[in-house]
């Protein structure tokens, strides 16, 4: 069950699908910047993907607020489609209690993929989603709730073990359905999640989200 403690750490970014009333996205493209972050004391960089922006203006505080709702992970990158917030976005996360992965990535991903498909693995993921829902509701005074989250394993390659999920995000403005794909990976011996989400009905497919998280995971470099 070594890998199972990593499987419960990837499902807490959904609350960002709802933009509070009165907030307008202010992020705009600024060339091709490099975003820097640290995991387990190691420094990493990632080029900000074309068409995506880091938070700016009013969205900085919002991004920090919603990242704090994830009690299991640290959020190292919050990338929104430029000019939007919480509609089409990517997070890079790692466990708050990070530990190095001492086995090769291929071996680790095979372990993760195998455990994702077990009954015990599915139960732990279900429990994690329930805990995430409680954290989001508590952290927003029940103003935002997650409902009907359905995750499933969608394969493994040389870079990621993948989960996909669909969930309802319920808020005062109404209910929004969001689709997500999660890449669990190892870079320079550190476990990370690259999570891509988009509101249903905006024309973004699961296959596109899967390609997006893989491309971004491949672009993460240790420094």
- 97-144 pLDDT, tens digit per residue, is 878 899 999 999 998 888 888 888 778 777 777 777 787 778 778 777
Choose between 194 and 25: higher pLDDT: 194
Pairing of strands 73-81, 42-47: unpaired
Please state, in angstroms and rounded to a whole number, the distance separating the CA atoms of residues 178 and 68.
Answer: 20
Give domain limits for the chain: 4-21+33-222
Biggest CA–CA distance in the chain, Å, is 48
Residue 129: predicted pLDDT:
76
User: pLDDT > 90: what percent of the chain?
Assistant: 40
| Residue 95 contacts residue 106 (beta carbons within 8 Å) | no
Rounded CA-CA distance 67/64 in Å is 5
Q: What are the structure tokens assigned to 171, written together?
A: 């808020």
Most confident of the ranges 10-14, 19-23, 58-62? 58-62
Where does 157-209 show beta strands of DSSP type E?
Answer: 161-171, 174-187, 190-199
- Give 108's contacts (C-beta < 8 A, 6+ positions apart): 3, 101, 186, 191
Determine the pLDDT at residue 23: 43
Indicate if the pLDDT at residue 51 is higher than 70: yes
pLDDT of res. 158? 96
- What pLDDT does 125 receive? 78
pLDDT value of position 107: 94
d(CA 55, CA 42): 23
| pLDDT band for position 155 (cuts 50, 70, 90) | very high
| Residue 32 banded pLDDT, cuts 50, 70, 90 | low
**Residue 219, SS3 per DSSP:** helix
Full-model pTM: 0.85
Nearest partner of 136 among 32, 13, 6, judged by Cα: 13
Confidence of residue 27 (pLDDT cuts 50, 70, 90): low
Instruction: Look at residue 176 in the predicted model and tell me its pLDDT.
Output: 83
- The pLDDT assigned to 201 comes to 83
């Amino acid at each position: 069950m070594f890998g199972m403690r990593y499987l419960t750490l990837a499902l807490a970014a959904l609350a960002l699908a709802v933009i509070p009333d009165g907030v307008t996205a202010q992020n705009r493209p600024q060339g091709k910047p490099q975003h820097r972050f640290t995991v387990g004391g190691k420094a990493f960089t990632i080029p900000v993907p074309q068409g995506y922006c880091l938070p700016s203006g009013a969205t900085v505080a919002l991004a920090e607020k919603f990242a704090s709702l994830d009690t299991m992970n640290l959020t190292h990158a919050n990338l929104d489609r430029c000019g939007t917030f919480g509609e089409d976005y990517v997070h890079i996360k790692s466990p708050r209690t990070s530990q190095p992965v001492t086995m090769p990535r291929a071996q680790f991903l095979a372990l993760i993929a195998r455990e994702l498909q077990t009954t015990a693995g599915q139960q732990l993921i279900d429990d994690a989603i329930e805990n995430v829902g409680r954290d989001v509701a508590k952290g927003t005074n029940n103003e935002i709730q997650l409902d009907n989250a359905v995750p499933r394993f969608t394969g493994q390659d040389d870079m990621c073990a993948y989960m996909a999920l669909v969930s309802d995000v319920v808020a005062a403005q109404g209910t929004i359905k969001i689709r997500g794909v999660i890449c669990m990976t190892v870079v320079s011996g550190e476990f990370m999640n690259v999570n891509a989400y988009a509101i249903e009905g905006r024309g973004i497919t699961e296959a596109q989200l899967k390609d997006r998280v893989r491309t971004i995971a491949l672009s993460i470099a240790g420094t």
